[in-house]
Amino acid sequence: MRRMAAGANRTGLIIIGLLCLLAGLAALAISFGLAESVIPGLSSDKDLKPVAEVVGLQFSALIAIVAAVILAVIAVRWLAAQVPRKDSAKPLRMQQDARTGITTVTANVIAAAVADDLEATPEVVDAQVILRGTARAPELMVHVDVDERADIDAVVADISNRVTRNCSQALGSRLSAVGLELGIARTHQRKQRSVQL
């Protein structure tokens, strides 16, 4: 249910791959003497002294430090992007006329209410909910753990009918997407001690 940074990873890998490919092609071109036509004097048997002189300049160390810092920032940002994120909806504004006042409700409030509602479904042991999207196009992501002897079809039917209808009714708009993930709870975390008739 949490979102991973798969898209960012693919983009990063494509960029790094292209850079490596270009570097490899350049090395091949130099070693075969093809680069000499583009940059005169750049051949495989050439003395490396001019390159060494550039590295030995006073500001070369500063450039190296700046480059290292930039690379470190990119690496830290990439690492931070790997943390799975919920991407919950921003606080929903639901008033009809803002001049008379605004109504605000957070995605967590809706998610908690839906999770409470899910627990009213027989045989649901645990429920986790994320609300994404906007007030006009809300998306509901649901994970429920059901008892291992539960009637899965009945649970799914109850969620797709009653639970989503209640959520739509509360939000005043149709859910644009509903994601449902089912898990089987093999351990009973609680035992009912009484029954109300």
* Residue ranges binding other proteins (CB under 8 A): 1-2, 86, 94-96, 99-105, 108-113, 115-120, 124-130, 143, 165-167, 169-172, 189-190, 192
Smaller CB separation from other proteins, 35 or 133: 133
What gap in Å lies between CA 87 and CA 133, rounded to an integer?
9
Q: How far is the CB of 114 from other proteins (least distance, A)?
A: 9
Q: Of 117 and 133, which CB lies nearer to other proteins in the complex structure?
A: 117
What single-letter DSSP state applies at residue 35? G
Which 3 state secondary structure label does DSSP give 44? Answer: coil
Q: Which is nearer to other proteins, 103 or 176 (CB)?
A: 103
- In Å, what is the CA distance from 61 to each residue of 55, 57, 58, 64, 65? 8, 8, 7, 5, 6
Supply 84's token pair: 């799975």
User: Shortest distance, CB of residue 126 to other proteins, whole angstroms?
Assistant: 5
Cα distance between residue 117 and residue 106, in whole Å: 17
Least Å distance between CB 138 and other proteins? 12
Helix (H, G, I), strand (E, B) or coil at 34: coil
**Nearer to other proteins among residue 37 and residue 192 (C-beta):** 192
